[in-house]
């Protein structure tokens, strides 16, 4: 029998429901009073990095790079048509994406929520692959790969990852290569689908004008319990040190694009909510538009509004990446590293800490006004084993000393790499 747990946030007054469905699927329902639209996202803990794995202790299986992304494309097709056509008839907007560690299918609608949810669950749970349809898709995805090869922002990132990572498959393009997707067959697609699309390896999150009763009713109708599997992903040991400090590529760009990446220590576990909060506050202090560094780089015309920073995290990999457009990427990178070392030597500011903490907490709370943000954050929390509201609590409770300690653990300027894409 399905079980329902109500989870409340004393800080925000919001609540959501966690449902352990009979089928084995974990479902999250986040009702928002006063909202007329709804959002649903159905995801599996399977992305581009999962190319070597075993099931129930069996022999290791290796599949071609890009197969997770390929499978995402193919699942929209069926013998009777495609899912996009079905969603169009209900007026819903649908999409999907494959990342390094997960694949998700989603829709948003202002009407016919139950019908749209049934479509979502149905097409993801009914794969249909033939030799002919798989071969046809190779040309389509091959064109997509070539398109990404011509995208400076995409190339500068993967060039950076190749500088940072020796063995981890995170350095491999999510879509694979034209050569690797040529190895994909209908049989291989069914093989990875049967492993990674088991309901115990998936989660469904819905938010907005929804309630648990609706969602359970549709899940009961569409989902059937399958055989549970123990999946073991195999990643080669990844050393802490980087591969190389610099990579440059010539492309037709007006202003050079750069990524500066700091490789951090990582294992198969994700950061806890508290460590994640410490990291977010620290990076906001150092690199946000209100920081001293940002003002200096902007004043010296070394960055523009495209400058950003992120925590790049997944099973076995963790980096802090900064980047954007710059007329002199090497000088910008040198100043960033000098600034980090200077702050480390002189200590972080309590005033900067307080303002950055408030900013991060405010952003987290305000994100609860957007149902797409809620759904995406819920599914991310599920796959990283971080309870959703604990992320907000951690930001509210983070202390200066916590951030100070965290600064001593990351942003080693001797273990970073610069990737640049520039014009002729």
77 Cβ neighbours under 8 A, 6+ residues apart:
83, 128, 133
Catalytic annotation on 137? no
72, 238, 264, 278: which is the annotated catalytic residue?
72
Cβ-proximal residues to 212 (8 Å cutoff; 6+ apart), any chain:
4, 17, 19, 29
Retrieve residue 15's tokens.
């609540």
Torsion of the alpha carbons at 8, 14, 396 and 355, rounded to the nearest 10:
180
3-state secondary structure the chain: CCEEEEEECCCCCCEEEEEECCCCCEEEEEECCCCCCEEEEEEECCCCCCCEEEECCCCCEECCCCHHHHHHHHHCEECCEEHHHHHHHHCCEEEEEECCCCEEEEEEECCCHHHHHHHHHHHHCCCCCCHHHHHHHHHHHHHHHHHHHCCHHHHHHHHHHHHHCCCCHHHCCCCCCHHHHCCCCHHHHHHHHHHHCCHHHEEEEEEECCCHHHHHHHHHHHCCCCCCCCEEECCCCCCCCCCCCEEEEECCCCCCEEEEEEECCCCCCCCCHHHHHHHHHHHHHHHCCCCHHHHHHHHCCCCCCCCEEEEEEECCEEEEEEEEECCCHHHHHHHHHHHHHHHHHHCCCHHHHHHHHHHHHHHHHHHHHCHHHHHHHHHHHHHCCCCHHHHHHHHHHCCHHHHHHHHCCCCCCCCEEEEEEECC
Please calculate the CA angle 198-202-204 and round it to the nearest 5 degrees.
135
Contact 321, 309 (CB under 8 A): yes
Task: Compute the distance between CA of residue 255 and CA of residue 253 in angstroms, rounded to an integer.
Answer: 6
Active site residues per annotation: 72
């Amino acid at each position: 029998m399905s079980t329902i747990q109500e989870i409340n946030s004393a800080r925000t007054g919001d609540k959501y429901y966690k449902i352990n469905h009979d089928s084995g699927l974990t479902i999250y329902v986040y009702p928002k009073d006063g909202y007329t639209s709804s959002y649903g996202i159905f995801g599996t803990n399977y992305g581009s990095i999962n190319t070597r794995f075993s099931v129930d202790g069996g022999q290791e299986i290796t599949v071609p790079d890009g197969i997770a992304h390929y499978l995402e494309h193919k699942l929209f097709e069926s013998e009777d048509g495609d899912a996009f056509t079905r969603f169009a008839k209900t007026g819903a907007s649908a999409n999907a994406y494959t990342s390094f560690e997960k694949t998700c299918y989603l829709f948003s609608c202002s009407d016919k929520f139950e019908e749209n949810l049934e479509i979502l669950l149905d097409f993801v749970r009914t794969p249909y692959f033939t030799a002919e349809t798989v071969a046809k898709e190779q040309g389509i995805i091959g064109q997509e790969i070539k398109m990404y090869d011509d995208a400076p922002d995409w190339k500068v990132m993967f060039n950076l990852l190749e500088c940072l990572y020796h063995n981890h498959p995170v350095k491999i393009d999510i879509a694979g290569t034209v050569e690797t997707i040529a190895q994909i067959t209908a049989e291989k697609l069914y093989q990875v689908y049967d492993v990674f699309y088991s309901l115990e390896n998936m989660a469904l999150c819905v938010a907005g004008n929804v309630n648990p009763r609706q969602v359970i009713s549709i899940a009961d109708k569409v989902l059937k319990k399958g055989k549970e599997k123990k999946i073991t992903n195999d990643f080669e040991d990844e050393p802490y040190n980087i591969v190389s400090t610099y990579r440059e590529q010539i492309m037709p760009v007006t202003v050079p694009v750069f990524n500066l990446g700091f490789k951090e220590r990582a294992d198969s576990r994700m950061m806890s909510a508290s460590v994640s909060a410490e990291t977010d506050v620290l990076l906001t202090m150092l690199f946000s538009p209100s920081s001293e560094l940002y003002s200096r780089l902007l004043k010296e015309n070394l960055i523009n509004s495209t400058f950003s920073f992120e925590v790049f995290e997944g099973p076995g990999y963790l980096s802090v990446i900064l980047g954007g457009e710059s007329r002199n990427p090497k000088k910008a990178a040198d100043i960033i590293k000098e600034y980090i070392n200077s702050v480390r030597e002189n200590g972080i500011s309590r005033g900067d800490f307080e303002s950055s903490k408030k900013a991060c907490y405010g952003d987290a709370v305000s994100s609860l006004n957007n149902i797409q943000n809620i759904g995406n954050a819920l599914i991310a929390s599920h796959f990283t084993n971080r309870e959703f509201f604990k992320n907000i609590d951690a930001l509210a409770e983070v202390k200066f000393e916590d951030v100070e300690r965290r600064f001593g653990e990351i942003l080693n300027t001797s273990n970073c790499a610069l990737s640049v894409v520039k014009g002729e």
